Amino acid sequence: MAQPTLLEKALFKVKENGFKYTKKREALLNFLIKKNRYTAAREIYEHLNGLFPGLSYDTVYRNLREFVEIGIVEDTDYQGEMKFRFSCSEDFGHHHHFICTVCGKTKEIHMCPMDFFKEQLDDCEIEGHRFELYGRCSDCKKFV
């Protein structure tokens, strides 16, 4: 039996979390999978509106937020704008990123620094965190 594709895994997770399957949701996820980098909501909206004329920006943004909540899409505030990408973790698990400031490519970081901070904040309740590194990827640093 063939392994499910990333899109199939994501659509299963959508359904598992009580959301209905729609062609629009499939197209949104497929677009993010193909982009494979953080992308502005406006760019996602423009692509989807080309496929589904009349689709509202609010609908696209709401779906992005819902997908972030269930872990299949990741978001970041990059250069003052929220950007979104399909989760680069095959199991949609917790991880962090290096983000290229030139081309936007990301690399998954396979460790979380929170254990270090938990030891220093043992009397506090941590409710969330972000950890991202920025710089030039190996391709872009050649053109400095």
Q: Is 112 annotated as a binding residue?
A: no
Q: Is 124 annotated as a binding residue?
A: no
Does residue 29 contact residue 71 with C-beta atoms inside 8 Å? no
HEC string of 76-132 equals EEECCEEEEEECCCCCCCCCEEEEECCCCCEEEECCCCHHHHHHHCCCCCCCCCCCE
Does residue 11 contact residue 29 with C-beta atoms inside 8 Å? yes
Q: Is 103 annotated as a binding residue?
A: yes
Annotated binding-site members: 94, 100, 103, 129, 137, 140
Residues placed in the known binding site for Fe cation: 94, 129
| Binding-site residue ranges for Zn(2+) | 100, 103, 137, 140
